[in-house]
Chains A and B, each alone.
Chain A
Amino acid sequence: CGAPPINHGYVLAENALDQVPVGSSREQVMLVLGTPSTTSSVAGSTFYYISQTIDESPLWGREITDQRVLAVYFDDEGKVRQIANYGLKDGKVFDFIERKTRTSGAEVSLIGQMLGSVGRVSPF
């Protein structure tokens, strides 16, 4: 029960990959595939196009039902050296670290919030 699975991230158009064979330029890739979901170097030496389908069910939680990472590697002249495809099977499943770096800033105080509403008589 619950909502249908939702597609996230990059949407690959049909036969788009044929237009960016090995050797095509970075601008060509940007033109055909569009801006990458994320890039792997300041000079953008690898483009990553990430697509996912995530199904969220109230009882069994969130589950990635499909995931594809298109990695476009460039050589030093900025030409496509290789295109790799990572599927869902390449992904690893593990728990992320719970701990987080401490930050400062005033928490919402319960008293503050409650007092805020003392003055507020429920309007007719």
Chain B
Amino acid sequence: GLPGIGAAPAHAESVSRITVSGNTRVEAETIVSYVTIKPGRPFTSIDIDDSIKALFATGLFSDVQISRAGGALQVRVVENPVIARVAFEGNDRHSDTVLGATVELQPRSVLTQAKVQSDTQRIQELYRRTGRYNAKVEPKVVDLGQNRVDLIFQIDEGPRTEVSRISFVGNKAFSDGRLQDVIATKESGILGWLKSSDNYDPDKLNADQEALKRFYYNHGYADFRIISAVADFDREQNAFFITITVEEGEQYVYGDINVETTLSEVNAKDLLSLARTHKGDVYSAKDVEKTLEDITVAVAEKGYAFVQVRPRGDRDYAGHKISITYFIDEGARAYIEKINVIGNTRTRDYVIRREFDLGEGDAYNQVLIEKAERRLKALGYFKNVRVYSEPGSSPDRVVVNVQVEDQTTGEISVGGGYSTTSGFIAELSISEKNFLGRGQQVRASVGRGFSTDSSSSDTQTYELSFTEPYLFDRRLSGGFDVYRRQYAAGSDVIHPYEEVLTGGAIRFGIPVMEDLTLGLRYSAYQQEISDVQDDITKINPKLIPTGDSFVSSVSYTLTYDTIDNKLFPRNGIYAQFGQEFAGVGGDVSFLRTSVKADYYKELMSDWSLVGHVGLKGGQITGIGDDLRFIDHFRLGGDTVRGFASEGFGPRDKATGYLLGGQYYVAATAETLFPMPVIPEEFGLYGSLFADAGTVWSADSGTVDSSGATLQGDDAKLRASVGVGLIWQSPFGLLRADFAYPVLKEDYDETQIFRFSGGTKF
């Protein structure tokens, strides 16, 4: 046949030998090993294609030609150059090592045009992700001869791209500022250089849209829709203008709520009581979700493992009502064949598996799987959690995959702060939320307080605490604390003696119901009182007895907590009732009862106004002997602002030392609002508040035995009104309060200005 130039004839033929040319670095023998054609054996054009593909696949060659010349098969290759060095010029924001790790091409690897392009893209993407959209990247290849090159990326980073304005269009119910709190992308503003949250990141903007949807769905706006979220980049100003156009629709309240079921033994009426969606309340997606979960658990408990609860909402557009019918029927009878935990490079398998109430072999129930997913996300150990199911080995079997990505949960933080009660405070703490991947929490901290004036005392604190959330493999948290706290002698009125507490506690937390936990605790500590101020001992040496005492007590607390955000509460209730009995051994015995309740409610949501009312009280009596003065209740600035830290209560007339009382009650009412004039992204909030409280009834036995001269044990109410300034600064929460006591006794210690704040960096 004709000597085929490239296009070999279709019918099979064979060659006697294979010649390789053009290769300088790669051995001929290696090239031949990738060619599927062997001398003496028939081959077709398909073999040629396969060989070419194989050789290209190695990435070593920029061009491969295979043709037949006479009896020989000619393989001509052009090798890709080898990179001697990869260098970056003009990069400031990212170091060479960071860029080196981003690009794929490394020294001594083979340079291909495709890889150079993809690496250029990668560097561009890195800069875009960290807020520099104007960055330009130019790859330059320097030929060193003998098919070796240097690869240099010339980078012009350009100024930082800022998000200069985030504006919302169409929002009537919530202010721009309130919505900005909901989303993660922040405006730069003058503090831009500090924050990294103001980098524009498309993924973050998508997540923001989800956050906005959930926020509106949870505040009654069932028809809420995001029409567009546009980020237009202004090249001159090198900044992004983000405009999110929304259509809020109407705020819905619940209409009729009812339950329908096809399951015979399920009584729809008594399930109705489980529904958290009550007629007349504002619609909230979260309530509907919780209701689905509660009904599913209740019905599953009756033996309907495959129960499926689906809500159907019928909107009454005119009356802005949504009536919801919960349909309960039986889903497909499928069982969980296997639960695979994937991606856990640090968290241990059982820490993830135990969040599932269902096990392998149990009936598959989507709502209970979603409940487990929510629990896993709430742990805070993972960057992301994804639970997805796949068909199992037989039609009625499902495999559940739990894909997690671990995140660092340890934190070393240095805290500093100033408070008028204990002066400057510095604290170094190491904490780990997921200790050794076992889900345990460990925290160790060292603290130091420096008194600035006579009114505050030096403090030294050392603390270590450990918690196991699943003691004995049950939903029972247990832990211990060990601490040593030392307070030096302050001025004559405030804590006029040195006190050293060394001790520890063992504690358990038992979940009673949703949001309600019972805490049990045994605590024991050695209390050393010494070096009482001499202007007290001069007048009445028996007033503050010195010496060591061992206090050993058991206590329980019932805590109900639905606060939405611990740092800056807007909605929710925190209520706690507890009793502590000291006298389980030890030298001191008393019974202390305390109660505390705080209620936060977002008032006019478009103004993002938050109302807070709080009440607390306590009663303590010595058991078997008189109650020591140091165990009495004292009230001061942190309860009723406007007064010094141990500002008021029954007092010893002669020395002015505050004896304290066996009863106290205090209340506060406060409204928080964003500072009107200043743009909200500053994080400046104002607060108008009124506090009141009183403490009374010093233990008469102790008064007689210590020869104190009682004064002001008349339960007179102290009250104050004031204004506060709160700054959610990039350094942490800072708060300053100016309170003017309106009701006080002339011998009370007042303190108009209080400042407290601290930062973790």
Contact = CB atoms under 8 A, between A and B. Distances in A.
Interface string A1-20: 11111111111010000000
A114 B362 contact: no
A124 B475 contact: no
Nearest to B728: A124
A120 B411 contact: yes
Interface string B526-548: 00000000000000000000000
Interface in A1-50: 1-11, 13, 34-35, 37-38, 50
Given A58-B476, A118-B412, A5 B301 contact: yes
Given A50-B361, A117-B432, A122 B760 contact: yes
B297 A62 contact: no
A122 B411 contact: yes
Given A50-B361, A117-B411, A56 B194 contact: no
Interface string A100-112: 0000000110100
B202 interface: no
B335 A120 contact: no
A61 B472 contact: yes
Contacts of A37: 335, 361
B471 to A, nearest CB: 9
Contacts of A34: 333, 335, 396
B512 A2 contact: yes
Nearest to A37: B361
Given A122-B760, A124-B195, A9 B410 contact: no
A108 B476 CA distance: 25
B300 interface: yes
Contacts of A114: 410, 412, 430, 432
Contacts of B39: none
Contact of B513 (A1, A11, A50, A110): A1
Contacts of B333: 11, 13, 34
B313 interface: no
A91 interface: no
A35 B334 CA distance: 9
B630 to A, nearest CB: 35
B436 A11 contact: no
Contacts of A97: none
Interface string A79-123: 000000000000000000000000000011010011011101111
Nearest to A5: B301
B311 to A, nearest CB: 22
B511 A2 contact: yes
Given A35-B394, A108-B436, A122-B413, A7 B511 contact: no
Contacts of B301: 4-7
A18 B696 CA distance: 77
B335 A10 contact: yes
A8 B362 contact: yes
A11 B363 contact: yes
Contacts of B335: 10, 34-35, 37
A124 B730 contact: yes
Contacts of B394: 35
Interface in A49-94: 50, 56-59, 61-62
Contact of B361 (A5, A8, A108, A120): A8
Interface string B410-435: 11110000000000000000101001
Contacts of A11: 303-306, 333, 363
Given A58-B476, A108-B436, A4 B408 contact: no
Interface residues of B, number: 50
Contacts of B306: 11
Interface in B262-281: none
Contact of B194 (A50, A108, A124): A124
B346 A7 contact: no
A72 B484 CA distance: 65
Interface string B321-348: 0000000000001010000000000100
Interface string B271-312: 000000000000000000000000001101101111000000
B410 A7 contact: no
Given A7-B305, A8-B359, A8-B361, A1 B510 contact: yes
B521 interface: no
Given A35-B394, A35-B397, A61 B474 contact: yes
B341 to A, nearest CB: 15
Contacts of B358: 6, 8
Contact of B408 (A108, A110, A120): A120
Interface in B698-753: 730-732
Contacts of B518: 1
A122 to B, nearest CB: 5
Nearest to A62: B474
A114 B306 CA distance: 44
Contacts of B300: 6-7
Contacts of B408: 116-117, 120
B396 A122 contact: no
A123 B196 contact: yes
A114 B361 CA distance: 38
B511 A9 contact: no
Interface string B469-511: 0001111100000000000000000000000000000000011
B350 interface: no
B511 A117 contact: no
B512 A1 contact: yes
B390 to A, nearest CB: 16
Nearest to A54: B359
Nearest to B436: A108
A9 B362 contact: yes
Q: Which of B304, B346, B361 has the most CB of A within 10 A?
A: B361
Contacts of A110: 436
Contacts of A38: 361
A108 B351 CA distance: 14
B305 A56 contact: no
Contact of B410 (A8, A59, A116): A116
A123 B195 CA distance: 9
B437 A108 contact: yes
B362 A58 contact: no
Contact of A58 (B411, B432, B436, B511): B511
B297 to A, nearest CB: 7
B361 A9 contact: yes
A50 B472 CA distance: 26
A58 B474 contact: yes
B412 A117 contact: yes
Nearest to A119: B408
Nearest to B509: A58
B357 interface: yes
Interface of B: 194-197, 297-298, 300-301, 303-306, 333, 335, 346, 357-359, 361-363, 394, 396-397, 408-413, 430, 432, 435-437, 472-476, 510-513, 518, 730-732, 760-761
For the complex of A and B, 10 pairs with smallest distance between CB atoms? A117-B410, A58-B476, A124-B730, A1-B512, A58-B510, A11-B305, A35-B394, A122-B760, A117-B408, A108-B436
29 contacts: A1-B510, A1-B511, A2-B510, A2-B511, A3-B297, A3-B475, A5-B301, A6-B301, A8-B358, A10-B335, A11-B305, A13-B333, A37-B335, A50-B361, A58-B510, A59-B476, A61-B472, A61-B473, A108-B346, A108-B437, A113-B346, A113-B435, A113-B436, A113-B437, A114-B412, A121-B761, A124-B194, A124-B197, A124-B732
Given A8-B359, A61-B474, A113-B410, 18 more contacts: A2-B511, A4-B297, A7-B303, A7-B305, A11-B305, A11-B363, A13-B333, A58-B511, A61-B472, A108-B437, A113-B346, A113-B437, A116-B410, A117-B408, A117-B410, A117-B412, A121-B761, A122-B413
